[in-house]
Chains A and B, each alone.
Chain A
Amino acid sequence: MTWLCDGSLEGFLCALYESFRLRRLPERLTRDRSTIDLFEEVYDIHTDDETAAKMMAHLRVQLAPDTLRRILHTTLCDDAAYERELLLYTRLALRDDKALHDLSQPVVFAIEGYEKRLMRVVHRMYGFVRFEMLEDSSLYARIAPPCNVLPLIGRHFAKRMEGERFIIHDTSRNLILVWDTVNLAVHPILEASAPILHAEEQRYRGLWKSFFESVAIEERKNYKAQRNFVPLLYREYMSEFA
């Protein structure tokens, strides 16, 4: 049978709970209704916050912090079909956490792979986020990363810009991350109005662009390497590539 969940962490936790309650595993676990064909038997998992919280509390007690972190991180890889693998992985972790060392187990390898990839995107975003200064001197950045790294990058920027207020806006997921110099939070939004830029903003953007162009060495031109390091999908909001 195919199980259908809603793609949130809570939804996943409920699916996990169901697998224990029913003592069985789904043949397929997915969040994507469009992959289900007409005659497939489907079990729609209802997301219940209370069940999810209970499951979470259970995992917190039972699992090593690293394992739990890896599970949470995997649920942020929203461009991959991780659900069934993660379900198996979590059950394996609860049963025998020594098995998690064995990279030749396909689920272990897959889940570690997801996390690694996520962290690579996080590290890239540390560099590729571009803030614009707004009218009121606060900073605003738009991003559209391939997976949902917004919740993971806030601390980094809060640490380095402790005294500045900023918002990072994930335009493909409609989430914003807000640092108001005291608290850090992620909120879903419906839509955003166009930002009003600071009078100096264009000037610094121009200076940055001329720095970017002057720093390249003609004799070493290598667009292939450049594209490999900054894939096109990251360039949308990077002003130097505009």
Chain B
Amino acid sequence: MPDTALDSRISSEPTTSDSATSLAPAAVPAGTGGATIQLLDVTKSYPGQVAPAVDHITLEIAAGEIVVLVGPSGCGKTTTMKMINRLIEPTSGQILIGGTDVLKLDADEHRRNVGYVIQQTGLFPHMRIAENIGLVPRMLGWSKRRTADRVEELLEVVGLPPGEYARRYPRELSGGQQQRVGVARALAADPPVMLMDEPFGATDPITRDRLQNEFLRLQREMGKTIVFVTHDFDEALKMGDRIAVLGPQSVIAQFDTPEAILAAPANDYVSSFIGSGGQLKRLGLMPLRDADLRPVPARKDLSQITIDASLHDALDLMLESGQDKVLVAADESGEGEVFGSIRLDDLMAAIADDSADDPSDDPTAKLDPSAGS
């Protein structure tokens, strides 16, 4: 199982998504990767409604990629997602997973191979945590022994010690813990594809942030293909390798990397969705780790920031300390190693630079497995 080595690799990497070039499936560990998902000209009209809820959407998602569907309430995000596991049958169009037409598969069997996480967790209140997680493996015919081992492993992975939690009922867990169980349950049979509909929506900001970080760390190990729905653009920026900004009837306004969308919103609709502070958000996506640092200056009275932070955090610290440069160090305590410094001009240059060599010119490049490797 791919997940056992997790804790040994607890992230020293930044928590924002990797840059566009590292998205190629080649980065995914062998054997655990996801499968491509293709929506081809898919439409859903609900009976009795004039306008279709989803109007001719075409969307290609590379193996091992997190694509976030973001858009206002009622724009058709959930409908689009549910067509992938056929909880909603498309009116027309084709859906392929790993090249297979899912509309030709047995719906129940197909769903067992697609992880599904929803905001309300949907845990079965009358079953213990272990039973909840073990359901899909059992339906797939796994032995009791193998299922039990897998359940234990997954509880460890999502940070709930099995000894303490396996025999509890859902109501005996906090909301955040229930969400983790929801994720564990979706991962149970190691499906190549996961659908997540506002999975962290019902939690407080701090818990959400932690769940997001943990999930991204997990995903770096697993390399699943993930469709993630949210209406929170900041969550989209954080979680998405690519983001599909959807307008009414699930019409794609822009489909690109977070960096590219912030740098060059396709139209006013996308801009309005980004809201104010788009450039600040771009800084937030740039890790200090990737920045060109200046040598450590002679002055010793500068504030210090950890190299795990983003350029946005560096700017924040400059504003806070009233100085136009800060030291970048292993940690904030002042005792760790100091790697260099960064100045306000550097931040401006980073923004200007990134816009100049805009990676959004060829959004399909990442779908080609040979790209970026």
Q: Do A and B bind each other?
A: no
Task: Write the residues of chain B forming the contact surface with A, with a CB cutoff of 8 angstroms.
Answer: none
Chain A: residues with CB nearer than 8 A to chain B? none
